[in-house]
A and B are shown apart, each in its own frame.
Chain A
């Protein structure tokens, strides 16, 4: 699933490891989510959204609406 995680992370000058530690997951997880190889569970998606103070749909692109965006 496409997402803005890399951009949001870069805006805060966080490394993947920094973000991983804040989310309490591995760096591989952050990398897999950023590159769209892995779609996080809802609890993890909410955790990511809470961390950036955004709604889930502001970070992750709804695949059903992807063509519209």
Chain B
């Protein structure tokens, strides 16, 4: 979020605690699994625990898109997010076929969200750069 609209400030206030929760749960879960070697339902519950803040992040992002009143910034954000979705789907399709024909082994689907975030961020940077280039023109 380049501009600090009221919605962007609310986004940051929600984003920071959610990400802190994610880091705490990732470290906590990793320590708990390595120390207690849980199995069955306990392992399932522990495995899902660090995913909850990521689901929370999707909610935080959705709230921002809904609350952002600046239509141009919202459109720019959604465009960048769609680019990210495109990258994830393209990667999933290509890697999926490589797996079908046994060219590739297992790839953790965990990477889908980070890939989406990275692609989205890259697209945001390009769009922001285009805006700055427009300023200079």
Chain A: residues with CB nearer than 8 A to chain B?
24-29, 31-33, 35, 37-38, 40-41, 44
Q: List 30 A-B contacts (CB under 8 A).
A: A24-B69, A25-B70, A25-B71, A25-B72, A26-B3, A26-B5, A26-B70, A26-B72, A26-B73, A28-B3, A28-B73, A28-B76, A28-B131, A29-B70, A29-B72, A29-B73, A31-B131, A31-B134, A31-B135, A32-B72, A33-B72, A35-B134, A35-B137, A37-B130, A37-B134, A38-B72, A38-B75, A40-B71, A40-B72, A41-B71
Evaluate whether A44 and B135 lie within 8 angstroms (CB atoms) in the complex, with A26-B3, A26-B5, A28-B3 already known.
Answer: no
Chain B: residues with CB nearer than 8 A to chain A?
2-3, 5, 69-73, 75-76, 130-131, 134-135, 137
Contact partners of A28 in chain B: CB under 8 A:
2-3, 72-73, 76, 131
Q: Are B134 and A32 neighbours in the complex by a CB distance under 8 Å?
A: yes
Contact partners of B2 in chain A: CB under 8 A:
28
Closest to A38 in B: B72
CB distance from A33 to the nearest CB of B (A): 7
